[in-house]
Amino acid sequence: MKNTSIISERIRLARNLEGYPFPARMSYHESEEVVDKVWGVIKDTDIGGGFSLTLINDSDMNDRLSLVETHMISPELAANERRLCAAAAISKDGQISIMINEEDHIRIQVIRKEVDLDNILVTAQKVDKLLEVLGYAVNSEYGYLTACPTNVGTGMRVSVMMHLPALVMTKQMSGIFESCNRLNIEVRGLYGEHSNPDGNMFQISNRVTLGQTEEEFIALVGRISEQLDQRESDIRERIYKQDKVAFEDKICRSYGVFSNARIMSGKEALNLISDIRMGITLGILDLPMDVVDEIMSLIQTATIQKYVGREMEINERDMVRADVIRDKLNLTAVKKEG
């Protein structure tokens, strides 16, 4: 499939252990037992190159927020408001994370850049089958039992992260929100405002988890994301053809600022990245998409602080962000003025 706008795809499985109340009603001691049991099963596997365990209570807040920014854990786990023993087992290849004692005892998540939900499910199910020996809370009528009934059944949320600047530009997103809503598909802005998020990044996911098979939910989300991708691609080409020079000018100016600026806020960076991504897919810019993806992940507030190893004031952070971007684009040879 030709892919214009899909940034990454993700599948999450929510699971709970029989014999323990859900995390909201758990004691600290019980939560420690669940972490021990899950880690006992996971620690020796070689799936994903093996796992390492991060205990949330032992990590400082910036490290936790960085894991949120890189989509490894949820904000809920980072906050750990229930004050339990909570943890995240993250695979060495950075594609699998197992959150322990978030809203449910276990949340298995597999995230990849490839457009291949079926294979992502295979990996998630491998981990699922390993953990299954611990005895899941299941019921033949309701499937996998979860703390929130919105996740019961398959316990599966399928998400596709998409970059949809042309649909935003042509003001089509509100119509898309409505049609997706009718199909039980949720569309949300990945950064900032819901309707017009920074960087035009959206997440498409299934709202419903019960009453259909895993494969059916995957097919639905896959089909919708493919349709959106096709539409986005068609409109991009149409806009580009309407006035080639003006469009190229806009993209190249964005790249010029991105690769030369000395001060760069997070919001400005995301909006420039949006133009650059579009420029790459239309063949206007010759730049590896991987580098852009890496920069996009790295320059987020908590992640950039983790990268340089210290917390920074906003002004310093904006300067460091600009440095990191130039560094990653291999433009460090350009000397700083003064």
Partner 1 sequence: MLCQRCGERQATFHYQQNVNGKKTELYLCEQCRKEIGMDGFSGNSLNWNDFFGVFDSPLSLFGGNGGMSSERVGVQKNNAYVCEYCGMRFEDFRNGGNLGCGHCYETFKERLDGVLKRLHGGNRHKGRLPEISMEEPLEKPKTIDEEEVVEMKENNEQVACQETNIIELKSKIKKAVASEEYEEAARLRDIIRRIEAGEEI
Confirm or reject binding of residue 118 to partner 1 (CB under 8 A). no
Confirm or reject binding of residue 139 to partner 1 (CB under 8 A). yes
Confirm or reject binding of residue 102 to partner 1 (CB under 8 A). no
Residue 19 Cβ, how far from partner 1 at the closest point, in Å? 8
Residue 334 Cβ, how far from partner 1 at the closest point, in Å? 28
Short-list 63, 33, 75, CA closest to 302: 63
Which position among 1, 2, 46, 133 is part of the footprint of partner 1 (CB under 8 A)? 133
Confirm or reject binding of residue 89 to partner 1 (CB under 8 A). no
Report the C-alpha gap between 318 and 250 in whole angstroms. Answer: 23
Confirm or reject binding of residue 74 to partner 1 (CB under 8 A). yes
Which position among 47, 53, 138, 219 is part of the footprint of partner 1 (CB under 8 A)? 138
Q: Do the beta carbons of residue 56 and residue 77 sit within 8 Å?
A: yes
Confirm or reject binding of residue 103 to partner 1 (CB under 8 A). yes
Q: Do the beta carbons of residue 32 and residue 121 sit within 8 Å?
A: no
* SS3 of residue 84 by DSSP: coil
Report the C-alpha gap between 181 and 184 in whole angstroms. Answer: 5
Residue 216 Cβ, how far from partner 1 at the closest point, in Å? 8
Confirm or reject binding of residue 301 to partner 1 (CB under 8 A). yes
CA–CA distance from 12 to each of 45, 64, 116, 226 (Å)?
Answer: 19, 19, 14, 20
**29-58: which residues touch partner 1 (CB under 8 A)?**
36-37, 40-41, 57
Binding segment (CB under 8 A) for partner 1, from list 160-168, 184-192, 232-240, 329-337:
184-192
* SS3 of residue 334 by DSSP: coil
Confirm or reject binding of residue 61 to partner 1 (CB under 8 A). yes
Short-list 39, 102, 36, 41, CA closest to 68: 102
Confirm or reject binding of residue 179 to partner 1 (CB under 8 A). no
Confirm or reject binding of residue 107 to partner 1 (CB under 8 A). no
Report the C-alpha gap between 66 and 78 in whole angstroms. Answer: 9
- Lookup result for tokens 């365990």: 53
Looking only at the bridges linking them, the beta strands covering 143-144 and 138-139 are antiparallel
Give 142 or 243: the residue with its C-beta nearer to partner 1.
142
Which position among 1, 2, 140, 174 is part of the footprint of partner 1 (CB under 8 A)? 140
Provide the angle, in degrees to the nearest 10, between the axes of the packed helices 244-260 and 266-281: 140
Residue 134 Cβ, how far from partner 1 at the closest point, in Å? 6
Residue 305 Cβ, how far from partner 1 at the closest point, in Å? 10
Confirm or reject binding of residue 25 to partner 1 (CB under 8 A). yes
Binding segment (CB under 8 A) for partner 1, from list 144-152, 164-172, 242-250, 323-331:
144-152
Confirm or reject binding of residue 332 to partner 1 (CB under 8 A). no
The separation between CA 170 and the C-alpha centre of its own chain, rounded to angstroms, equals 25
Alpha helix (H) ranges present in the chain?
28-42, 61-69, 75-79, 117-131, 165-169, 173-182, 214-242, 244-260, 266-281, 289-298, 301-308, 314-328
Confirm or reject binding of residue 75 to partner 1 (CB under 8 A). yes
Binding segment (CB under 8 A) for partner 1, from list 3-11, 203-211, 282-290, 323-331:
203-211
**252-271: which residues touch partner 1 (CB under 8 A)?**
266
- Tokens in use for 133? 């020996």
The contacts of residue 55 (CB under 8 Å, 6+ apart) are 35, 85, 86, 87
Residue 329 Cβ, how far from partner 1 at the closest point, in Å? 24
Which position among 129, 241, 335, 336 is part of the footprint of partner 1 (CB under 8 A)? 129
